[in-house]
Amino acid sequence: MLLSALCLGGAMAQEDDAIPDYREETLSGDWGGLRRDWYRQGLAVEAGYKWDMLKVTSGGQARGGRPMEHLDLKAKLDLESMLGWEATTAYFNYIHDAGGKLNRDYLGSQLASSNIEVTVSTGRLFHAWVEKGFWGNRLSLLAGLYPIDSEFQVLDSAGVFVQPPYGAMADIALTRGPSIFNNSAFGLRAKWRSADATVYFQGAVLDGIPGDPRHPKATHVRFDKGDGAMQIVELGYAPREKGHLFEPASPEKGVPTTPELKAHEAREAYEKYAFGLWRYTTRVDDLMDIDDAGVPMQRRSQGWYALLERSLWQWAGGDLSAFFRTGVTDGNSIAIRRATNLGLVMRGPLPNREKDQFGAAHTRGTLGGKFRESQELAGIGTVKAESAVEITYLVQVNKWLAVQPVWQRYRDPGATSGVSSATVLGLRLGVAL
């Protein structure tokens, strides 16, 4: 297959221009030309590593901090090139996460501090799906292990931030079992794009509880009675989204992505507006309401969200973008009633530093009235909301290494009475392997 491709001459040379320069842009290089050969044959292989060292320097539950790490291995298979299956792609993503539990042991936030902190250190197959395109890829169908925050609720401009709420929103992240980092569920996703690829509509149905809660380590696909399903739809307008050249496929964002892995983005600027709805089919206990027999009323967890992001100002080698996102839940079975994110991101903030990024953002999680009442009955005092600010500067040292100092400030961590406001300082290292 490779020999026949090489015979295409000029066409092949043009294709070669689109192949990532693995020797310059990854630490491990081109593996003696193997990665380029694979790419020509329809196999794209990518790896990344992140290391966080964050510390609570004041407030919160206690002072202190611990390192965390995230290993990310990705492979895309173009099954049309490899097997002749028209417009068909397979995608596999293995992740391994380990390290300290900063939020659990020191901060105590509903919003958390690092988007690579996990409750259980483990390795998992995070993406494992096949996608088929129809009618010139205007319609695509996907089936397999699939995290919803890879394509739903996505703010591309907010990818530089370390705090988790700029990925999956805090309200949906605290529900009974969303398919998000670092535990995905088996599901089906359909996506339609307009002829000019600016308008899209997508929907997904997934197992209501990812994996096997009784065995939290490793990868599990289990459909237990009572899991039900999670359903989500999103309508969006993204006139300047052009897709990714190097990332194996578009639904890759569910793994927290350090911007050095996105150096090959083919994007003119950020611009996106979207609205979404989500719900679980299985009913769960209401936080407060009971029937005549004293049994908790059963409710479906559900909510909606809206988001926008846009490049406000562009110059040679950089731009300034803003984003806003808000989400509201039913408030009957979920701690957070409303979640909001807003921020500014500057790419190329300094002369000759086009790949650097500066970001400043604010996030807020407002507790629902029923949750506050239930906590009061349990003897736990709460405040109305928790909010946090993050300021960060990503230094792109070279094409495969990024160093990112981070400052975070939390007001009322955990929205718990008596917990003082906290400051978190730290550093993230990101390596494209």
Closest CA to 416 of 377, 376, 388, 389: 376
Across residues 349-374, what is the average pLDDT? 94
Q: Which has more pLDDT, 245 or 38?
A: 38
Across residues 222-229, what is the average pLDDT? 80
pLDDT at residue 243 above 70? no
Across residues 6-13, what is the average pLDDT? 37
pLDDT at residue 77 above 60? yes
Query: Which band of pLDDT confidence, cut at 50, 70 and 90, is reported for residue 13?
Result: very low
Closest CA to 306 of 232, 397, 236: 236
Q: Would you state the pLDDT for residue 7?
A: 39
pLDDT at residue 9 above 80? no
Q: Would you state the pLDDT for residue 250?
A: 43
Which residues, including other chains, have CB under 8 Å from residue 318's CB and lie 6 or more apart?
Answer: 346, 347, 348, 349, 354
pLDDT at residue 57 above 50? yes
Across residues 352-372, what is the average pLDDT? 95
For 348-421, list the strands marked E by DSSP: 357-367, 385-396, 401-411
pLDDT tens, position by position, 95-142: 999 988 999 999 999 999 999 999 888 899 999 999 999 998 899 999
Q: Is the pTM of this model over 0.75?
A: yes
Q: Would you state the pLDDT for residue 240?
A: 75
pLDDT tens, position by position, 257-311: 444 444 334 456 899 999 999 999 999 888 888 888 888 888 899 999 999 999 9
Residue the block writes with tokens 């088929």? 132
Q: Would you state the pLDDT for residue 286?
A: 86
Mean pLDDT of the chain: 88
Proportion of the chain above pLDDT 90, given as a percent: 69
Q: Would you state the pLDDT for residue 390?
A: 99
What count of other Cβ atoms lies within 10 Å of the Cβ of residue 382? 19
Across residues 76-96, what is the average pLDDT? 95
Query: Which band of pLDDT confidence, cut at 50, 70 and 90, is reported for residue 211?
Result: confident
10-18 vs 34-41: helix axis angle to the nearest 10? 110
Q: Would you state the pLDDT for residue 17?
A: 62
Cα(331)–Cα(107) distance, integer angstroms: 25
Domains of the chain: residue spans and CATH: 1-41 (no CATH), 47-432 (2.40.160.180)
Proportion of the chain above pLDDT 70, given as a percent: 90
Across residues 238-262, what is the average pLDDT? 48
Cα(17)–Cα(37) distance, integer angstroms: 13
pLDDT tens, position by position, 150-206: 999 999 999 999 999 999 998 898 887 788 988 899 999 999 999 998 999 999 999
Closest CA to 380 of 372, 389, 388, 390: 372
Query: Which band of pLDDT confidence, cut at 50, 70 and 90, is reported for residue 16?
Result: low
Which residues, including other chains, have CB under 8 Å from residue 169's CB and lie 6 or more apart?
Answer: 153, 305, 325, 327, 339, 341
Query: Which band of pLDDT confidence, cut at 50, 70 and 90, is reported for residue 256?
Result: very low
Q: Which has more pLDDT, 63 or 19?
A: 63
